[in-house]
Amino acid sequence: MPTETQTSYFTDTQKQTARFAKAMGHPVRIAILELLNSQACCFHGDMAEVLPVAKSTLSQHLKELKGAGLIKGDITPPTVKYCINRDNWELAKGLLCKVLK
């Protein structure tokens, strides 16, 4: 477990960049982001019918992306709606571009 001194060494920008990168660190999550980013509006329906992943596994990946703020989810039975969080998506692209330049 990092100490307070170790964690305070890193800037908030570095921590946020790492959080986004960690959330995108799985091929299923990349596929989810690509799917949602290709939508003109939010995705309604069951992503398990589109992606070759079990519903329980998909749920964990969606939870990770939502926790990082990359997607928004609205579960109002019987419908489920997921969208890219456009503000954070732009932030993530900018932060990651800075690291990868």
Kindly report the backbone phi and psi dihedral angles of residue 74, in degrees, each rounded to the nearest multiple of 5, phi listed first.
-135, 110
SS3 at position 1: coil
**Residues of the chain with pLDDT > 70: what percent?**
93
User: Which of the two residues, 50 and 30, has the higher pLDDT score?
Assistant: 30
SS3 at position 85: coil
Q: All domains of the chain, ordered by start, with CATH?
A: 11-100 (1.10.10.10)
* Residue 42: per-residue pLDDT: 83
pTM: 0.84
pLDDT tens, position by position, 39-69: 878 888 778 888 999 988 998 999 999 999 9
Which stretches within 24-85 are classed as H helix?
27-37, 55-67
- Rounded to an integer, what distance in angstroms lies between the CA atom of residue 34 and that of residue 44? 15
Residue 98's closest CA among 30, 10, 24, 17?
Answer: 17
